Structure 1
Amino acid sequence: MTDRARVLFVCLGNICRSPMAEAVFRNMVQQAGLEQVIEIDSAGTGDWHIGHPPHEGTRKLLDSKGISYSGMKARQFTKSDREQFDYIVCMDTKNEKDVLQLLGQSAAVNGVPSGDSGARIFTFMSLLPDSNIADVPDPYYTGNFDEVYELVEQGSAKLLERVRSDLSV
């Protein structure tokens, strides 16, 4: 690990969960005064929403919390993201499988794909091991943006602890 960390959140379309996580985590990083050492982005495994802003439900929720999503536009996860990021945080187990498949890996052990020394790839909910759910629910289908926000806020706090520990800051 270097003296900087790059975090990428990944969901299906990059309009609901991963941009919410990007915005919430960025806000936490700024509040901690670490925006010079921790960079944040998000991407989707699908290509349906490339170039679109976050979903209206995500935008309304972030607006209500005073959290900026300015300039955020959906993009698709690419193989080169593997080299660009230190942490690839997948919002559900299907996203994790899709990311690993795109990278030509069948599984990850302790967040590191077999035979690889690059970015750690893991599910967002692994940050909340005491939770009784494995995946961050997709509010595109459930409509429950508040539930997603609560999980994202809790998990982002844990992720910030982990990154700070890894960076010793």
Structure 2
Amino acid sequence: MLEQRIADAGLDDVVEVASSGTGGWHVGNPMDPRAAQTLRAAGYDPTRHRARQWDTTWPEAYDVVLVMDEQNLADVGGRTDRVGLLRDFDPVDRGSEVPDPYYGGTDGFEEVLAMVERTSEAIVRALPDALATSRGDA
């Protein structure tokens, strides 16, 4: 979702998005069929997604690392000025965790979709100022 929103904003030539899990349980597999169906129904293409595992070099390779919950935050080494929760940008419930819908029904996937969509929109709105600051334009 974030990657598509960045492309729609014309920022995909300057912003790279990577996604992973902190555990290796599903590496190489497509996403959960319920998640794929929820994304497909919302107009996203889930077919390219394959699970991959967090790489410990990413904090040096990326300017910002955003994780879904406190356990993921601990798994990547904790909060820093460049590492935080995705929902630190959520305009509705800033700083909350993204709940894992895996053990629930489809409504949980729809709830997470709504959270991530609005948070992705907020991130994209913040990017021009952040990019100007990182380049020294501000």
TM-score (norm 2): 0.85
In structure 2, C-alpha distance between the alignment counterparts of 1:36 and 1:70, rounded to whole Å: 22
1:30 aligns with 2:7: yes
1:77 aligns with 2:54: yes
**Residue 161 of structure 1, CA deviation:** 2.1
Aligned length: 131
* Greater percentage in strand: 1
- In the other structure, the counterpart of 2:136 is none
Which of residues 94, 100, 104 in structure 2 aligns to 1:142? 104
Greater RCO (CA < 8 Å, at least 6 residues apart): 1
| 3-state SS, counterpart of residue 161 of structure 1 | helix
**Offset at 1:33?**
1.4
Q: CA RMSD, aligned part only?
A: 2.0
Whether contact under 8 Å (1:50, 1:76) holds in the other structure is yes
Structure 2 residues without counterparts, runs of 5 or longer: 134-138
> How far does residue 69 in structure 1 lie from its aligned partner after superposition?
3.0
2:89 to 103, 127, 147: 127
AA in 2 matched with 1:138: D
Quick one: percent identity of the two aligned structures? 31
Match of 2:34 among 51, 57, 68: 57
Unaligned runs of 5+ in 1: 1-23, 101-106, 113-119
